[in-house]
Amino acid sequence: MIFNLALTAILANKLRAFLTMLGIVIGVTSVILLIALVSGLQTYITNQIQGLGSNLMFVMPGRMGGARSPGGVQANRLVYSDTVNLRTKLGSEAEVSASIQRNATLKFGNKRDKDVSIFGVEANYPEIISIDLTSGRFFKQSEQEASRKVAVIGPTVVVNLFGTGQALGKPIDIAGTKYTVIGITEKKGSVFGMDQDNSVYVPFQTAQRQFGIDRLNTIYISAKLAENVKLVQDKSTAILKKRLSEDEFTIQTQEQTLSTISQITGVLTAALGGIAAISLLVGGIGIMNIMLVSVTERTREIGLRKAVGAKPKDIRNQFLVEAIVLSGLGGIAGIILGITLSFIIGRFFTTTIPWWSILLSFGFSTAVGVIFGVAPAIRASRLNPIEALRSE
Span interacting with other proteins, options 49-57, 108-116, 265-273, 381-389, rule CB under 8 A? 381-389
| Closest distance of CB 15 from other proteins, Å | 15
In whole angstroms, the minimum distance from the beta carbon of 332 to other proteins comes to 24
Asked whether position 310 contacts other proteins by CB under 8 A, the answer is: yes
Residue of 15, 67, 226, 308 interacting with other proteins (CB under 8 A): 308
Q: Which of 42, 306, 322, 358 binds other proteins (CB under 8 A)?
A: 306
One of 193, 212, 309, 347 touching other proteins (CB under 8 A):
309
Report d(CA 371, CA 158) in Å as an integer.
59
Which residue from 113, 305, 334, 338 is in contact with other proteins, where contact means CB under 8 A? 305
Residue positions counted in the chain: 392
d(CA 46, CA 254): 10
How buried is residue 7: exposed, middle or buried, by Cβ count under 10 Å (0-12/13-18/19+)? middle
DSSP 69: S
Q: Which of 129, 239, 304, 360 binds other proteins (CB under 8 A)?
A: 304
Measured distance CA(168)–CA(170) in Å, rounded: 6
Burial track 17-54 (b if 16+ CB lie within 10 A, e otherwise):
beebbebbbbbbbbbbbbbbbbbbbbebbbeebeebbe
Interaction pattern, residues 12-41, with other proteins; x per rule: CB under 8 A: x-----------------------------
Distance, in Å, from the CA atom of 116 to the CA atom of 121, rounded to the nearest integer, reads: 15
Query: Contacting other proteins (CB under 8 A), which of 111, 178, 187, 313?
Result: 313
Candidates 140-148, 229-237, 269-277, 303-311 — which segment interacts with other proteins by CB under 8 A? Answer: 303-311
**Does 75 participate in binding other proteins (rule CB under 8 A)?**
no
**Residue 187 in the binding site for other proteins (CB under 8 A):** no
How do beta strands 94-108 and 218-223 pair? Answer: antiparallel
Which member of 177, 300, 349, 374 binds other proteins (CB under 8 A)?
300
Q: Of these, 3, 8, 105, 267, which contacts other proteins (CB under 8 A)?
A: 8
Which of the 8 DSSP states describes residue 13? T
174, β-bridge pairs: 106, 177
278 near other proteins, judged by CB under 8 A: no
User: Which one of 19, 267, 307, 344 is in contact with other proteins (CB under 8 A)?
Assistant: 307
Q: How many residues bind other proteins (CB under 8 A)?
A: 20
Between 281 and 389, name the residue whose CB sits nearer to other proteins: 389
- Name the nearest CA neighbour of 206 among 142, 155, 157, 153: 142
As a whole number of angstroms, the distance between CA 302 and CA 291 comes to: 13
Residues near other proteins, by CB under 8 A = 1, 8, 12, 300-301, 303-314, 385-386, 389
